Amino acid sequence: MVAGWFTDDTVPEAEFRLLGTRCTACTSVFFPREDNACRNPLCAGGGELAEVPLSPRGRVWSYTDGRYRPPAPYVSDPDAPWEPYTLVAVELAAEAMVVLGQAAPGVTTAELEVGAEVELVPGVLNEDDLHIWTTWNWRPVPRPERTDAQPERTDARSEREERS
């Protein structure tokens, strides 16, 4: 676990949060956290940097997959078969920022779309006999079941027709 990047990994999953900092002078939010000085070049200065938990949900801004084993310093078992992973850039509206992270294990690009809601969950980066290295993952939020009263819109024209 990287100290100060997210809540303690012993908290319940529903309380797991990335931790950033907010400048009290200009309200800019930073992740990873900034503990020395506000990085906003337009900030007048004089503010303190206060720790702030980031939103646990956001919207997919972009995504891709990695089909190769990353080089060092990425830690992975070279003897284990390599499995592709999915990277997700998530827009946190309240913080006005985009945070990059891996999708939860098993989530593929076929399950994602730009604008879809995702939620933060704890994940395991690596583990050995003595340690478990915690990280964060993004997981799609299940969409509510559609009823017959909620027909699926296929394009902008059908949306306009429903309104008229």
User: Hey, which residues does 162 pair with through a beta bridge?
Assistant: none
Alpha-carbon gap, residue 44 to 144, rounded angstroms: 45
Task: Quote the pLDDT of residue 126.
Answer: 79
Average pLDDT over residues 33-41: 92
Alpha-carbon gap, residue 51 to 46, rounded angstroms: 16
Task: Quote the pLDDT of residue 30.
Answer: 95
Q: Which amino acid is at 89?
A: A
Q: In this structure, what token pair is assigned to residue 127? A: 């583990």
Please write the tens of the pLDDT for every residue from 43-75.
998 889 999 999 999 999 999 999 988 887 777
**pLDDT score of 159 more than 70:** no
Would you list the domain boundaries of the chain?
Answer: 55-141
* 2 confidence band (pLDDT: 50, 70, 90): low
**pLDDT score of 3 more than 80:** no
